Amino acid sequence: MSMANTTKLNVTYGDVTLGVSGDHFRYIFAYDRGGLESLVRYGKEWLYRTPMLAFWRATTDNDRGNGFSQQSAMWLGADCFTHCTQVTVAVDGQSIPLPIAPENNRYSDHETADTVAVTFTYTTPTVPATTVTVSYLVDVTGKLSVAVHYRGAAGLPELPALGLRFVLPTAASGFDYQGLSGETYPDRMAGGKSGTYHVTGLPVTPYLVPQECGMHMANDWVTVTRAHTLNNADPDHQPFGITLQKHDAPFAFSCLPYTPLELENATHQEELPAPRRTVLTIYGAVRGVGGIDSWGADVEPQYHIAGDQDHDFQFEIAGLA
C-alpha cells in the first residue's frame, strides 16, 4: 500500500449514511442506526450491527452474592437501550454541518478527504441520564481511531463494565493477541504471563452458571480471524482477519460468541444458544471479580468503576497500510 500517502479517502455523502472508502476498505456510518454500520475490508463485512456501548457484564456469582447487580441494575437497561442522540461529522479536521439532504446536495460523486471523523453521542436510559461519545477517525490507510468518552454523573451507580461492543456477523475461527495468558481481571492478573497467544474458536469459560468470562487485560493488539461471511455471493472460506491495537495504552478485550444478556439468561452452559456470531468487546474499564467471599464481600475498591466520574479510552482498528 505504498500509494497510501498519496491516496485520498473517497467520501459518499448519502442521505442516510456517510460512506468512506479507500483501497480495499469501505466503511458506512449510519445516521439512522446511530453508529458504524458497515466495516468492509477486502470485500468482507465485519459488522453485524452497529457497535454499541457495553455497560453490563453477565452477573458473576460474586456479583450476585454481594448485590452488585441489584445496585447497578440500571446499567443492564443501559446496555440494552442506550440510543444515539447526536451525530457530528468532521472532514479533514473541520466540523461540517450534518451532511443530510438537502445539506448534502452540494456534494458530488467524487468527493475526497484525508481524514473523516464521525462522532456519535449516546444517551443512557439511566436515572440520571448521562452521555457517552464514540468518535471514529478514518485515515487514508483505513485505520479507524476510536475514542470513547463517558461523562460521569452524580448519582449513577458503579459500572459493571465500560466498553465498545462489536458483534461480528459470523463466529470467529479464533483470535490471536499480545497480552497476558489466560482469563484475567484487574484484581486477578498477576499470574498472567506476557506473551503472544492464539485461542482457537470462541471458548466460553464453563462456569457452572454462565457468567462474565473471557476477559483479557493489558493487550497491545488482538487479531480476530474468521473464515465465513453471511454474503451469499461469497463462497470463499479462506481465513481473514482484523486487528485492533492499542492507541497509547494497552486495552482489555473479550472475544466470545455471546452477549452478556445471552450469558445472563442461562443457568447452565448447555442452555447457551448455538454460537453464531462473534462478540468482540474492547473495554476501557473493567471491574474486578472479587473473591474474599461470594455472599457479600465487595470487590476491593481500587477495582471498581465509578459511575460519577469521567472515563476515556481509545484504541485503533488497524489500517491496511
Partner 1 sequence: MQADLTWLDDPQTFRINQLPAHSDHRGYATVAEAQAKQSSLVQSLDGNWDFQFAADPQHRPVGFYQPDYDRSNFDQLTVPGHIELAGYGQIQYINTAYPWEGKHYRRPAYSMGADQPARGMFSKGPENTVGAYVKRFTLQPALQNQRVSIEFDGVEQAMYLWLNGHFIGYAEDSFSRSEFDLTRYLQPGENLLAVEVFKHSTAAFLEDQDMFRFSGIFRSVRLVAKPALHLEDLTIRPTVDVGLTTGTLNLQLQLSAAQQLAGTAVITLQDAAGQPLWTTERAVADMLTATTTISHVHLWQHHDSYLYHLQICLHNAAGDLVEVIPYPVGFRRLEIKDKVIMLNGQRLILNGVNRHEWDAHRGRAVTMADMHHDLEIFADNHVNAVRTCHYPDQPVWYDLCDQHGIYMMAENNLETHGTWQKMGAVEPSYNVPGDLPQWQLAVLDRAKSNYEMFKNHPAILFWSLGNESYAGEDIVAMDAYYHHVDPTRLTHYEGVFQNRAYADRISDVESRMYNPPREIEKYLQDSPAKPFLDCEYMHDMGNSLGGMASYTDLIDRYPMYQGGFIWDFIDQALWVKDEVTGQPVLRYGGDFDDRHSDYEFSGDGLLFADRTPKPALQEVRYEYGQHD
- Does position 316 interact with partner 1 (CB under 8 A)? The reply is no
Q: Identify whether 128 is preceded by a cis peptide bond (ω within 30 of 0).
A: yes
> Quick one: which of 102, 130, 105, 100 has its CA closest to 29?
100
Of 15, 103, 114, 300, the residue at the interface with partner 1 (CB under 8 A) is: 300
190 is a site residue for partner 1 (CB under 8 A):
yes
Using CB under 8 A as the binding rule, whether residue 248 contacts partner 1 is answered as no
Question: Exactly one of 14, 65, 157, 275 binds partner 1 (CB under 8 A); which one?
Answer: 65
What contacts 203, CB < 8 A, 6 or more positions away?
A: 214
Give CA separation, 127 vs 56, 57, 74, 124, 154, in Å.
16, 19, 8, 8, 10
Q: How far is residue 182 from each of residues 95, 192, 230, measured CA to CA in Å? A: 43, 6, 31
* 264 binds partner 1, rule: CB under 8 A: no
By the 8 A CB rule, do 24 and 41 touch?
A: yes
By the 8 A CB rule, do 219 and 250 touch?
yes
Nearer to partner 1, 33 or 188 (CB): 188
Count of beta carbons in the 10 Å neighbourhood of residue 269 = 14
Query: Radius of gyration of the chain from Cα atoms?
Result: 20
Q: How far is CA 60 from CA 42, 272, 309, in A?
A: 39, 16, 24
The answer to whether residue 212 forms part of the interface with partner 1 (CB under 8 A) is yes
**Is residue 270 close enough to count as binding partner 1 by CB under 8 A?**
yes
Of positions 175, 185, 258, 315, contacts partner 1 by CB under 8 A: 185
- Candidates 6-14, 28-36, 112-120, 282-290: pick the segment binding partner 1 (CB under 8 A): 282-290
For the record, the C-alpha cell of 122 comes out as 449516546
Binding of partner 1 at residue 26 (CB under 8 A)? no
Stretch that binds partner 1, among 29-37, 143-151, 156-164, 190-198 (CB under 8 A): 190-198
| 319 contacts partner 1 (rule: CB under 8 A) | no
141 or 281: CB nearest partner 1 = 281
The residue (of 112 and 181) whose beta carbon lies closer to partner 1 is 181
**Is 163 a binder of partner 1 (CB under 8 A)?**
no
Closest CA to 243 of 277, 282, 287, 300: 282
- Taking the complex as a whole, how short is the minimal distance between the CB of residue 288 and partner 1, in angstroms? 4
Q: Is residue 262 within the footprint of partner 1 (CB under 8 A)?
A: no
Residues near partner 1 (CB under 8 A) are 60-62, 65, 181-193, 205-209, 211-213, 268-270, 288-295, 297, 299-300, 303
